[in-house]
Amino acid sequence: QLQLQESGPGLVKPSETLSLTCTVSGGSISNPPSYWGWIRQSPGKGLEWLGSLYYTGATHYNPSLESRVTVSVDTSKNQFSLKLTSVTAADTAVYYCARDGLDCGGSACTNWFDPWGPGTLVTVSS
Amino acid sequence: QSVLTQPPSVSAAPGQNVTISCSGSNSNFKNNFVSWYQQLPGTAPKLLIFDTNKRPTGIPDRFSGSKSGTSATLGITGLQPGDEADYYCGTWDSSLDVVFGGGTKVTVL
């Protein structure tokens, strides 16, 4: 059974870089070939997709955050990571990692996230 | 402001049926599939519906999904106290990639 777990600092100072890692267990990050994504949820708010990557390292990002977000993969460790630069208080949120079921074969795209990690709260404060 | 529009809340008594709407546009719903997520209080979202109307293994058939034009609907029949949660729709957008609705809080009266 595939399981994901986020890890990283729970407190980041304004203007610094937020770095999180998602460890995948119960399966391989590259077999079957899959996308993997990061989603966040600000306190009391809805879901916001940050970015996703294919196991090969190909990425796509939320256009509103693209200048600050980087997602990368380490297949040897069965992990993928998120970096968000120049953070502000508005970046305070619970950050989730999840498998991304993106498939744009044919004329339509399907996209879903399953399973999700339990989430990790990151607070941006000095 | 979310790209997909959901009602903030719906409520019903146990045993009743509810529907949650999710309104999009041609850039997302016209050609693409919809997913729905259930988020119980204090937990991570869980996939409820994918490919507009398919249920992952373990999701009861009380939950159903449909789409017509640029709107999608999640249906819950026989509402139970354990269904009290936030529900989100999501899909692929040709310009914005992955988009979600703002979420709907379901209250069991």
Per-residue pLDDT averaged across A105-121, rounded?
A: 93
Instruction: Give Cβ neighbours of residue A10 (< 8 Å, ≥ 6 apart).
Output: A120, A121, A122, A123
- Residue B94's SS3 state is coil
Instruction: Decide if A111 and B98 are in contact by the 8 Å CB cutoff.
Output: yes
pLDDT band per the 50, 70, 90 thresholds, residue B96: confident
Question: Given CB atoms, is A107 within the 8 Å cutoff of chain B?
Answer: yes
Residue A106: pLDDT over 80: no
CA-to-CA dists, residue A98 to A76, A115, B48, B109, angstroms:
18, 6, 14, 32
CA end-to-end distance (rounded Å), chain B: 28
Instruction: Give the tens place of pLDDT for each residue, A64-76.
Output: 999 999 999 999 9
Of B31, B51, B100, the CB nearest to A49: B100
Where are the alpha helices (H) located in chain B, listed in sequence order? none
Question: Given CB atoms, is B1 within the 8 Å cutoff of chain A?
Answer: no
Phi and psi at B83, nearest 5°, equal -85, -5
% residues pLDDT > 90 (chain A):
89
Instruction: Decide if B102 and A111 are in contact by the 8 Å CB cutoff.
Output: no
% residues pLDDT > 90 (chain B):
86
Residues of B in contact with A115 (CB under 8 A): 47
Q: Looking up tokens 């998120």, which residue turns up?
A: A82
- CB contact residues (below 8 A), chain B span 86-105, against chain A: 88, 90-92, 95-103
Among the listed residues A37, A34, A78, the one whose alpha carbon sits nearest the alpha carbon of residue A56: A34
Contact A117, A100 (CB under 8 A): no
Instruction: Give the tens place of pLDDT for each residue, A24-65.
Output: 999 999 988 899 999 999 998 999 999 999 988 899 999 999
CA end-to-end distance (rounded Å), chain A: 39
Instruction: Decide if B97 and A37 are in contact by the 8 Å CB cutoff.
Output: no
Question: Given CB atoms, is A104 within the 8 Å cutoff of chain B?
Answer: yes
**Local structure of residue A13 (DSSP, 8 states):** -
Among the listed residues B81, B71, B85, the one whose alpha carbon sits nearest the alpha carbon of residue B34: B71
Find the length of chain B.
Answer: 109
Residues of A in contact with B101 (CB under 8 A): 46
Question: Given CB atoms, is A61 within the 8 Å cutoff of chain B?
Answer: yes
Of B33, B43, B95, the CB nearest to A108: B33
Residues of A in contact with B32 (CB under 8 A): 108-111
